[in-house]
Amino acid sequence: MLSRVAPWLASHKDGTAPAGTSVRTLGGSDTSALRRLALQDPVANVFILSHLRAAGTAAPTSGGAAVIGIFNDGILVGACWTGANLVPVQLDPAFAGLVAAAANVSGRRYASAFGPAEPVLALHAELAGLGHTAHEVRAEQPLMTLSGPPSVEPNRELALGRLADFDRILPACAAMFEEEVGYSPFLGGREFYSRRVEGLIRQGHSLVHLNPAGEVVFKAELGAVTPDVTQIQGVWLNPLYRGQGLSSGYMAAVVEQARKIAPVTSLYVNGFNSRARAAYQRVGFREVGTFATVLF
C-alpha cells in the first residue's frame, strides 16, 4: 500500500512540490473523481475507464495494483495506474517526478509504461534516475480512431473466439506478444496470461479466424472496452498469410464487431510500422494523438 506522502514530495526535482499539492493512493471514495478526470479524454483514458467499469472502484485491487493520485488543494488533477504496467491519466508531465517516486517506493517491477507520449516519456526519465532501466522506448505511436463504419469490406470469416478453440487461440496470442515485445508472456508462468486470454474469450472480446485445419489465420482483441470507446489490441496475422493484402478486410471486420459495443473504435500503433498504419488508414482510422510505450 502506498500511504506515505512526505518522502515522495521531497523527491520532486528541487526537493519541494507546488504549494497545495499532495500525493496518495486512491481509494473507493475517489472513484467518481477518477472517472471524471479520465472522461476529460475518453479515448486516451479508455484503459482506466474500462478498469473502473469492471471493478467499480478506484481502490487497490486484490493483486496489489493501485492508482496514485495527484491532488491540488484537494482536487484530483492527475493520476497513474500502477500495476504490472504504469498508465498515466491526465497527468501533467511536471508531476512525473512525484508519481515515479511513489511508484518506486512500492518496490514493484513494471513491465512497461504506456499512454499519452508526454507523461509517459517524462515518467521514463524520472524512473531512469531511480534505477529502472528500459530496454526499449517507443516514443511515437500514433493514436487512431474510427467513429463510423469501416471504409473497406469486412472479412466475413472473422468471428468471436470460442472457448472450444482456446488451445489454438492461446499460442497465437503468445506469438503476437513475443513478436511485439521480444520475450514470451509465459516467462513468469502460464497461468496469468492464460487467464487473461480466456477472460477475453468469455467476454466476447476475442476475434479470430481459424482456417479449416484449425490454425489461426488472424486474431485481435478488444482489450479495453467502455460504452463510448473500444481499444483494439493484439492484432496478429499468421506469417504464412502476410503480404496478401488481407489485413484491411480483417481490421474492418474487427471494427464492425467493436461498433456493436461502442461508437468509437481506437488503437495505437508503432510509428515505424508503416504497413500497419497504411492498412488502418485504408479502413478509415485517423490519427488523433500520440502514445508512447516504454518497455522495462
Q: What is the DSSP string of 60-82?
A: PPTTS-EEEEEEETTEEEEEEEE
**pLDDT class for 170, splitting at 50, 70, 90?**
very high
Residue found by looking up cell 508503416 in the block: 274
pLDDT tens figures, 26-35: 999 999 999 9
- Among the listed ranges 20-24, 219-223, 238-242, which one has the minimum average pLDDT value? 20-24
pLDDT exceeds 80 at position 265: yes
pLDDT exceeds 50 at position 274: yes
For the CA atoms of the chain, what is the radius of gyration? 20
CA atoms within 13 A on the CB side of 112: 14
CA 239: distance to chain centroid? 24
Residue found by looking up cell 503476437 in the block: 176
Average pLDDT over the chain reads: 93
pLDDT tens figures, 54-76: 999 999 999 999 999 999 999 99
**pLDDT class for 17, splitting at 50, 70, 90?**
low
**pLDDT class for 169, splitting at 50, 70, 90?**
very high
Average pLDDT over residues 166-189: 94
Average pLDDT over residues 223-236: 98
> Based on the number of CB atoms within 10 Å of its own CB, is 73 exposed (0-12), middle (13-18) or buried (19 or more)?
exposed
Alpha-carbon separation of residue 276 from 153, 261, 282 (angstroms): 17, 24, 10
pLDDT at 20: 83
